Amino acid sequence: MSEEEEPLTGSAKDRAVDAVLRAAIWAARRLPYETRVPLFGALSRRVFTPLAGYGPRIAENLDYVFPDMPPAERRRIAAEVADNAGRMLIENYSAPDLLKRAAKIEPEGPGMAALMEAKEAGRPVIVISGHFGNYEAARGCLNGLGFELGGLYRPMANAFFNAHYVRTMENVGKPMFASDRTGMKGLLRHLSRGGRTMLLNDLYIGSGRELEFLGRPAMTAVSAAEMATRYDALLVPAFAIRQSDGINFRVLVERPIPDGDPDTRMQEFNARLEEMVREYPGQWFWIHRRWKLKWGKGKGPGARPGLHPAALPQRKRRN
């Protein structure tokens, strides 16, 4: 440990969770990729998710958004969420294998032409996504085409786990910036010089705006839109959709979000992500506390009943 580094601190539970995950990751990486990925999905369903206490939170979020959903369907989605989280974790700790597969993906969608034009022109790019499928498969796919997407990350609450998880993100692409004051300054410099980055914009942000997501009020960061306007950066959503084999992905680059005020642009992103979540509910991280406003928790104007999802217009499903 260097003199500048501070010792990691955390609870005994954090240390235990990290120890279990480290041991499991070490063992899994001794197995073929096609074996370790589904294995980690199963371990996440049966061990990691219960150990971390995420099961009740997934159930609570699903109940909040889909109160009329049959219990069996809710349990099925919750199991898929846990499975996808485990697969994503070991995929990201298997960067060489993940990137090898990502390099074979042909990205599709109406935003690819604009993305290529921005790259050729040296224009800054903000690829915006969420904790869906495996976002690193999308970043790895685009980086394989020379986009050099870095990223912004929120350090995990478990400091022991965060220390080595950050390295997995750097293996997919650099530069990575922590979402603190120093990191944000670094990201702004990066964009001002024509850099490109991927941002995940589906976490609760108390200092954000109260926008709608899945028919419920959700505090949403608008900084991605503000930065896009400030640096004339292309703002384009992209998603990696896990395929039925559980290992491969489609990478979809959607049409860019048009210029406008930050709230309107980020509401449009919420709508794009919502479309993906409705179509593939088991691939989104219902683990996060996305709706702290639901019982008046967190910052913001406060909880409101919101719209029942069934009352919202349904978007056309993708083929």
Residue 77 lies in a domain: yes
Residue 181 lies in a domain: yes
pLDDT at 181: 85
Residue 318 has pLDDT above 90, yes or no: no
195 contacts: CB under 8 Å, gap ≥ 6? 124, 148, 150, 175
pLDDT category at 308 given cuts 50, 70, 90 is: very low
pLDDT at 313: 35
pLDDT at 14: 74
What total number of domains does the chain contain?
1
Q: What are 52-71's pLDDT values in tens digits?
A: 899 999 999 999 999 999 99
pLDDT at 316: 41
Residue 156 lies in a domain: yes
Residue 199 has pLDDT above 50, yes or no: yes
Residue 246 has pLDDT above 80, yes or no: yes
pLDDT at 9: 59
pLDDT at 8: 54
Range of the domain at 16: 12-311
CA distance 255 to 317: 16
Residue 251 lies in a domain: yes
pLDDT at 296: 59
User: Per-residue b/e over 170-179, b at no fewer than 16 CB within 10 Å?
Assistant: ebbbebbbbb
Residue 7 lies in a domain: no
pLDDT at 128: 98
Name beta bridge partners: 218: 211
The pLDDT > 90 percentage for the chain reads 69
pLDDT at 2: 35
Residue 117 lies in a domain: yes
CA angle 74, 79, 85 (to 5 degrees): 125
Which amino acid makes up residue 97? D
Residue 143 has pLDDT above 60, yes or no: yes
Residue 4 lies in a domain: no
pLDDT category at 176 given cuts 50, 70, 90 is: confident
Say if residue 68 is exposed, middle or buried (CB neighbours under 10 Å; 0-12, 13-18, 19+): exposed
pLDDT at 314: 39
The average pLDDT across 131-140 equals 96
Residue 310 has pLDDT above 60, yes or no: no
Residue 79 lies in a domain: yes
DSSP-derived secondary structure letter, 7 = P
Please state the separation of Cα 149 from the chain's center in Å: 15
The average pLDDT across 116-121 equals 96
